């Protein structure tokens, strides 16, 4: 069983890899287009997250503005209008979290403090907020550039996919006509060309391994694969056409071994009488033909006798 395992694996691997090449080559352009669309969608998701962060920052700053204006005692009309307008910003941007509110309140309290040290601390907190805003703006710019780049790649990929689809459509049109016989003819021609390539490469490989197997044991072990495949072919011919080997002038191994066994018995019978004659030690003692036939009768089976009879009949004796 093991001697058939390696060829079976090799044949299966060839079919799998060739099948994968057949079924995946046509879909490469479509898969590339799909990948480009996924990349664009991923960048758009990051842009949406960045926009949400920006709106959250706007809401926090708008709350800080309202909180700072609320600290004005007896505010003039301008401050009241400013707070009223700022409320509209808050309504659009949304209300920040409690944590962000407290953080902004602390910053505003420090910035409006009477103490210079606290105002300095407030300025540092505001600088940190500026860094956060700058980071969001930088991310926005990079994401927009990344999206534009992916869109350009997608356009190229889409054009290639369209060109590939047109090419396949054009090739498919060549197979249409003659009530489908044109496709049959082209398919048969393609099969013949592919077979010729396979046979040509296989023949070269066969010859290389054949000569290499004469001196290299590794090449000889590899070449045994061809022997196994050849035996499969011969057994298949024997199964489908039982008399083909006889007509071609070849003898099956089982038939050859059967006649070989009969010949062994004939030679063995003669040798037995010769050894017996030596053991007697009388040079005048000669075994007769009847005694030889009697010896054959003892050692030969019915099948052996039948073969002898068939051979006698073939050469003209009864």
Strands (E), 75-159: none
Judge contact between 7 and 225, C-beta under 8 A: yes
Where is the domain boundary, 228, 247, 266? 247
277 and 150 in a common domain: no
Predicted pLDDT of residue 21: 40
Q: What percent of the chain has pLDDT over 90?
A: 0
257 and 243 in a common domain: no
pLDDT digits (tens, 9 = 90+) for 123-171: 888 888 888 888 888 888 888 888 888 888 888 877 777 777 767 677 6
Predicted pLDDT of residue 7: 45
34 and 78 in a common domain: yes
Q: How confident is the model at residue 25 (pLDDT cuts 50, 70, 90)?
A: very low
pLDDT digits (tens, 9 = 90+) for 77-89: 888 898 889 888 8
Mean pLDDT calculated for residue range 2-16: 44
Distance CA 313, CA 306 (A): 11
pLDDT digits (tens, 9 = 90+) for 200-254: 887 887 778 777 777 777 877 777 777 787 777 767 766 766 665 565 555 566 7
Distance CA 273, CA 13 (A): 61
Predicted pLDDT of residue 250: 55
Q: How confident is the model at residue 72 (pLDDT cuts 50, 70, 90)?
A: confident
Mean pLDDT calculated for residue range 2-29: 46
Q: What percent of the chain has pLDDT over 70?
A: 81
286 and 153 in a common domain: no
% helix, strand, coil for the chain, step of 5: 85, 0, 15
Distance from the first to the final alpha carbon of the chain: 47
Judge contact between 146 and 43, C-beta under 8 A: yes
Domain that holds residue 160: 28-174
Distance CA 173, CA 154 (A): 28
80 and 117 in a common domain: yes
pTM of the model: 0.41
């Amino acid at each position: 069983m093991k001697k058939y395992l390696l060829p079976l694996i090799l044949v299966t691997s060839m079919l799998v890899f060739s099948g994968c090449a057949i079924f995946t080559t046509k879909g490469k352009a479509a898969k590339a287009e799909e990948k480009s669309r996924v990349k664009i969608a991923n960048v758009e998701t990051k842009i949406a997250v960045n926009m949400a962060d920006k709106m959250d920052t706007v809401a926090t700053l708008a709350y800080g503005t309202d909180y700072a204006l609320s600290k004005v005692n007896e505010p003039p009309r301008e401050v009241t209008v400013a707070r009223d307008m700022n409320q509209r910003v808050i309504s659009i941007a949304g209300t920040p979290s409690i944590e962000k509110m407290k953080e902004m309140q602390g910053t505003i309290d420090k910035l409006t403090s009477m103490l210079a040290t606290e105002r300095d601390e407030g300025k540092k907190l505001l600088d940190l907020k500026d860094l956060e805003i700058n980071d969001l703006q930088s991310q926005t710019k990079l994401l927009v550039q990344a999206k534009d780049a992916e869109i350009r790649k997608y356009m190229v990929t889409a054009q290639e996919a369209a060109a590939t689809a047109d090419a396949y459509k054009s090739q498919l049109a060549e197979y249409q006509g003659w009530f489908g016989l044109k496709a049959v003819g082209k398919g048969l021609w393609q099969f013949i060309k592919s077979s010729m390539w396979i046979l040509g490469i296989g023949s070269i490989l066969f010859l290389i391994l054949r000569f290499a197997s004469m001196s290299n044991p590794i090449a000889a072990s590899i070449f045994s694969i061809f022997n196994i495949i050849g035996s499969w072919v011969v057994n298949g011919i024997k199964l489908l056409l039982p008399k083909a080997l006889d007509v071609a002038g070849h003898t099956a191994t089982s038939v050859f071994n059967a006649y070989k066994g009969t010949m062994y018995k004939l030679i063995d019978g003669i040798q037995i009488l010769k050894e017996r004659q030596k053991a007697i030690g009388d040079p005048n003692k000669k075994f007769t033909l009847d005694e030889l036939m009697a010896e054959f009768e003892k050692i030969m089976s019915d099948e052996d006798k039948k073969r002898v009879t068939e051979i006698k009949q073939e050469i003209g004796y009864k």
